[in-house]
Amino acid sequence: MSIALFLITHEGIASSLLDIGRSIIQQPVDNIAFTEVPMDAEIGTVIEKARNRLSDLNLNDGILFISDIYGSTPANIARELAAKYNTSLISGVNLPMIIRLLNYRNEDRQTLIEKALDGARQGIQVNN
């Protein structure tokens, strides 16, 4: 199995990134779920929805939470859930990070985090 991935982002981000990531790596991807937070969402409802989706994941190898903007409502919800699962939250998701998360699923949690962060940083370049 592999580490479960759970994305909590603003509306439209997680689904788009995962769709594109799956298209790029062209391999079956499982044990991933997400919750997207509408701008006018009731926080309690979002948390309950996230908990329901978490129950669909296999957590035997652990879980990693991913969010879009540090300090935002989705990240704060993810932080609360990550604390309950005694695991990590990575904020600032981008497509290169998603590609790394999908490609290195069978690594241990710390290695997966390092690969994801390296991918995210290396994916940001300035060309003058």
Q: What CATH number did the domain enclosing 59 receive?
A: 3.40.50.510
- pTM of structure: 0.93
Query: In which band, very low, low, confident or very high, does the pLDDT at 32 lie, cut at 50, 70 and 90?
Result: very high
Number of domains in the chain: 1
**Residue 85, φ and ψ in degrees, nearest 5:** -95, 5
State pLDDT tens for residues 74-92. 999 999 999 999 899 999 9
Is the model's pLDDT at 11 over the cut of 70?
yes
The residue range of the domain holding 36 is 4-122
Distance CA 97, CA 21 (A): 10
In a domain, 127, yes or no: no
Residue at 128 is within a domain? no
| Residue of 121, 122, 123, 103 lying closest to 5 (CA atoms) | 103
Burial of 90 (0-12, 13-18, 19+ CB in 10 A): buried
Measure the CA–CA gap between 85 and 98, rounded to whole angstroms: 21
